[in-house]
Amino acid sequence: MKLLNILFLLGTLLLFGSFQENEKNSYQLKTIVIDAGHGGKDPGCQGKISFEKNVALAVALELGRILNENLPDIKVIYTRKKDHFVELHERANIANKNEADLFISIHCNAGPHYFKGSETYAMGLHKTEGNLEVAKRENQAILIEENYSENYDGFDPESPEAYILFSLLQNAFLDNSLNIAGKIEGQFKNRVQRHSRGVKQAGFVVLWRTSMPSVLVELGFLTNPDEEKYLNQKKNQVYMASAIYRAIKEYKKELETVEE
């Protein structure tokens, strides 16, 4: 009951806070936090030649570079710029403390060797076991944190029942989160010619406590040899980062357009 009560209260506070954020920011996209998944002692998933933490960082840094170059009015903040470990709750804290208007967490996926394609997640209740398994894998990072039980109010990343409680969270930002997620997948599919596995929802700890629209991008499967080769090539990392940039640009224009 303790966890349920805390999550319900948090969901209520986030809902209230979202209205304040919208009013304060006048629907402007001013600050973006880019989160390169994993890092340091947490390598994430791995293929035959690479670790998730390194591919995610390369694309995150490239995304920030493109944003700084083309949308200099947007403040770009990274949760990490080097290969070091940042606890998941601290990644959300960075976004919240800087009053970010958008949080984008970049990752790589794992699965059977024949799985391929990108997918972008918003915080929510998983609709398939596959979505749940992706969330479980990404959430495993909390197990190497000190005092993780206290940091996450007793959340057990292996308990399917715990994820149901996540349906109470991020509802205030779900529409915008799904909006930007759709734009990212659209750019991957239509501009980069990547196979898109679509927009999905699941309970990711890194999105749990962010008080702004937030998405988690799975660039592709490192466990697929062809995709791993693709994702480790610099030009393709630029393509993927550019696709996310174009989605952000489109989202910003849509968000800040005031109908007469």
- CATH at residue 99: 3.40.630.40
CA distances from 47 to 58, 110, 118, 219, 260 (A): 16, 8, 16, 14, 52
Q: According to the model, what pLDDT value does residue 43 have?
A: 97
CB 32 within 8 A of CB 76: yes
The position carrying tokens 């591919």 is 55
Mean pLDDT for all residues in the chain: 84
Q: Once rounded to an integer, what is the mean pLDDT over residues 130-134?
A: 66
**Is 100 in a helix, a strand, or coil?**
coil
Distance from C-alpha of 135 to C-alpha of 96, rounded to nearest angstrom: 22
The position carrying tokens 């002692």 is 41
CB 37 within 8 A of CB 212: no
- Which residues on adjacent β-strands are paired with residue 199? 120
| pLDDT > 80? residue 132 | no
Q: Give which of 185, 193, 194 is closest to 244, Cα–Cα.
A: 185
pLDDT in tens, 214-229: 999 999 999 999 999 9
Residue ranges making up the domain that contains 101: 2-256
255: Cβ contacts below 8 Å, ≥ 6 apart? 27, 28, 29, 176
Beta strands in the chain (DSSP E): 31-36, 75-78, 102-109, 118-123, 196-202, 214-221
Instruction: Report DSSP state, residue 166.
Output: G
Q: Once rounded to an integer, what is the mean pLDDT over residues 11-39?
A: 66
When comparing pLDDT for 152 and 52, which is higher? 52
pLDDT in tens, 100-112: 999 999 999 999 9
CB 41 within 8 A of CB 86: no
Q: According to the model, what pLDDT value does residue 177 have?
A: 94
Number of domains composing the chain? 1
| pLDDT > 60? residue 40 | yes
- Show the tokens assigned to 150: 């206290």
CB 116 within 8 A of CB 110: no
- Which residues on adjacent β-strands are paired with residue 123? 202
Q: According to the model, what pLDDT value does residue 14 have?
A: 45
Q: Give which of 231, 251, 254 is closest to 58, Cα–Cα.
A: 231
